[in-house]
Amino acid sequence: MSAGLLSNKMIIEEMRCLMLSQSLRDARKYEETMEKKIGREDRPDFHLATRVGWMNDPNGFSYYKGEYHMFYQYHPYDSHWGPMHWGHAVSKDLLHWRYLPAALAPDTEYDRDGCFSGSAVVLPDGRHLLIYTGVAKEAQPDGNMREVQTQCIAVGDGTDYEKYAGNPVLTRKDLPEGGSKFDFRDPKMWRKPDGTYRCVVGNCTQEGDGRILLYSSPDGMQWKYEKILAANHNRFGRMWECPDFFMLDGKGVLITSPQDMFPQGFEYHNGNGTLCLIGSYDEGTDTFTEEQNQAVDYGIDFYAPQTVLTPDGRRIMIGWMQNWDTCNLHTPAEPWLGQMTLPRELSIQKGRLYQKPVRELDDMHGEEVRHENVTFTDEIRLAGVEGRKVDMELSIRPGDAENMYRKFAVRFAQDDTYHTSISFRPYESIVKVDRKFSGSRRAIIHQRRCLVNSEGGTLKMRIILDKFSVEVFVNDGEHVLTATMYTDLAADGISFYADGSVTMDIVKYELK
Ligand code: FRU
């Protein structure tokens, strides 16, 4: 490179830095230094985890300039939640992620207490548009300080983003009657076929009843209130966070994460969990009519998912693989907390939301190990079946046509001390994840049960392990259970157990 070109490059770099606030420059410098202290072996392999510090919700999930962009709620300086920044990573296949410098820091009047969750679209002129919630504390008439939330935008090139001079673009003035300015967050926008934009934002009434507001914009910059797209009417928890809305297989799908839910039968056991409303959507009048509801994940660790439409037309969802009630039990000495789930391909089948691991995962398959018609009545191990980075599909059925087995279980991340298990009891039709023996010393939630569909004791489960997590896709994605487990990596055994007689086919791949 000639001296002239080199100095031009340096000048451009210098100008780029000048544009950025001191807070953002500090965060970028900090993450670049501190990430070196986290070994590759201490991170998940193909699940996006925080670069350093703390991660929660996925944000700005989008496809831009030939790559998937994932931003996330980020507190680089501590492995606990704190003033929110946006972390940033890119990937070509949704599985191998490369960190980019932090994209947003809380550095203006209107977001000085946090850049909360939001989304991204690509503008027709090729720029990347982010919309997010700006948080700023305000003194209330009773003298207390409270966080007021507004919607703000930033425009960038895929690395650096400039906050819009007209921010905030939506404030308390744009709320429908009775709307709380303290709970007005997590805008998810999309571009309609006619080139205009729509955006859903989580809100609740002053009494704390959740609802999803719809806004429209001709250009992504100026926004206008349209209507309440869906309302809780005190059915599912209180405030509705992190909405996403899209069409899927001819249905309108609204996903949102309500806080403080009561369990209902086998649904909604997570306190703060994720709800999926499926219905019809009239594109002309932007009217959503609810028909069905279900939980999105039946495990322990899943919240605030966001979706993207891939260039080949697939709707892919990634969630935060954590639970708000158990994410604060680690010591400050731990350098990171927060992982995302596997990207999941969504479809509607038989009126339900189905999820499958993204097909790109198949390209990571190493050697295949296959065992067919294995019948067992106690604990067994199978040749070539072990590991902590595994994709395995199990099909089970009764081993004895006359006598239904009582229980099947697969144990993994296993050694003499530890294991986590997935079990199935055909009489109750219940799949259970249990991480009680995963190495936790805390009396937190370690089990979750899910009512599944099974006929005559047959069941299919695809189980994905990536060091510190398990995701179970039951019956081709009809039900999904997700859990993290921070078991020592030396525990890499896998075994199978039957109470009664079970016959199993298994195909297992190590993930490279
Ligand atoms: C959900 C959430 C969002 C908010 C963000 C703050 O997990 O509470 O509503 O934008 O986290 O980090």
pLDDT in the model for residue 352: 97
Q: Does the pLDDT value for residue 3 go beyond 60?
A: no
User: Residue range 388-407: average pLDDT?
Assistant: 97
Residue 94 region by backbone torsions, left for phi larger than 0, else alpha for psi between -120 and 50, else beta? left
Q: Give pLDDT, residue 216.
A: 98
What is the distance in A from the centroid of ligand 1 to the CA of 306? 12
Mean pLDDT of 278-299: 96
Write the pLDDT tens digit of every residue in 146-204: 999 999 999 999 999 999 999 999 999 999 999 999 999 999 999 999 999 999 999 99
Query: What are the tens digits of pLDDT across the range 40-65?
Result: 999 999 999 999 999 999 999 999 99
Angle CA 147–152–158, to nearest 5: 125
pLDDT confidence of residue 335: 87
The full DSSP string for 45-100 is: SSS-B-SSEEEEEEEEEEEETTEEEEEEEEETT-SS--S-EEEEEEESSSSSEEEE
Q: Are 153 and 169 in contact (CB under 8 A)?
A: yes
* pLDDT score of 329: 84
Indicate whether residue 304 lines ligand 1 (CB < 6 A): yes
Question: With 90 as the cut, is the pLDDT of residue 11 above it?
Answer: no
**What is the reported pTM?**
0.96
Q: What is the pLDDT of residue 441?
A: 87
What pLDDT does residue 150 have?
98
Residue 496 DSSP one-character state? E
**Atom 9 in ligand 1: which residue has the minimum CA distance?**
241
135 lines ligand 1 (CB under 6 A): no
List pLDDT tens digits, range 477-503. 999 999 999 999 999 999 999 999 999
Residue 10 pLDDT > 90, yes or no? Answer: no
Task: Specify whether 219 is catalytic.
Answer: no
Q: What is the pLDDT of residue 95?
A: 98
Residue closest by Cα to atom 8 of ligand 1: 241
Task: Report the C-alpha gap between 4 and 128 in whole angstroms.
Answer: 30
From residue 313, give the alpha-carbon distance in Å to each of 56, 175, 223, 344.
27, 33, 27, 13
Instruction: Using the predicted structure, report yes or no on whether residue 9 has a pLDDT greater than 80.
Output: no
Tokens of 44: 């998940």
Confidence category of residue 16, pLDDT binned at 50, 70, 90: low
Atom of ligand 1 nearest to the CA of 81: 12
Compute the average pLDDT of residues 214-234.
98
Identify the band that residue 442 occupies on the pLDDT scale cut at 50, 70 and 90. confident
244 lines ligand 1 (CB under 6 A): no
* Ligand 1 centroid distance, CA of 476 (Å): 30
56 lines ligand 1 (CB under 6 A): yes
Distance 485 CA to ligand 1 centre (A): 23
Q: What is the mean pLDDT of the segment spanning 55-82?
A: 97
State the pLDDT at residue 330: 80
Closest approach atom of ligand 1 to CA 133: 10
Closest-lying ligand 1 atom to the alpha carbon of residue 118:
10
pLDDT of amino acid 443:
86
What's the mean per-residue pLDDT of the chain? 95
* pLDDT of amino acid 332: 73
CA gap 43, 336 in Å, rounded: 9
Which residues, 6+ apart, have CB-to-CB distance to 143 below 8 Å? none
Share of the chain above pLDDT 90, in %: 93
* Ligand 1 neighbour 327 (Cβ under 6 A): no
What's the pLDDT tens digit per position in 455-469? 999 999 999 999 999
Centre of ligand 1 from the C-alpha of residue 241, in Å: 7
**By the 8 A CB rule, do 219 and 197 touch?**
yes
What is the Cα 96 distance to its own chain's centre? 16
How many A from CA of 56 to the centre of ligand 1? 7
Q: What is the pLDDT of residues 331-383, one digit of tens each?
A: 777 889 999 999 999 999 999 999 999 999 999 999 999 999 999 999 999 99
Band the pLDDT of 8: cuts 50, 70, 90: confident
- 259 Cβ below 6 A of ligand 1: no
pLDDT of residue 218: 98
Q: Which atom from ligand 1 is nearest to the alpha carbon of 241?
A: 9
Amino acid identity, position 115 = C
pLDDT score for 6: 59
Residue 2 has pLDDT above 70, yes or no: no
What is the model's pLDDT at position 438? 96
pLDDT band at 18 (very low <50, low <70, confident <90, very high): low
Q: Is 135 helix (H, G, I), strand (E, B) or coil?
A: strand
Q: How far apart are CA 217 and CA 110, in angstroms?
A: 21
Pocket of ligand 1 contains residue 242 by CB under 6 Å? yes
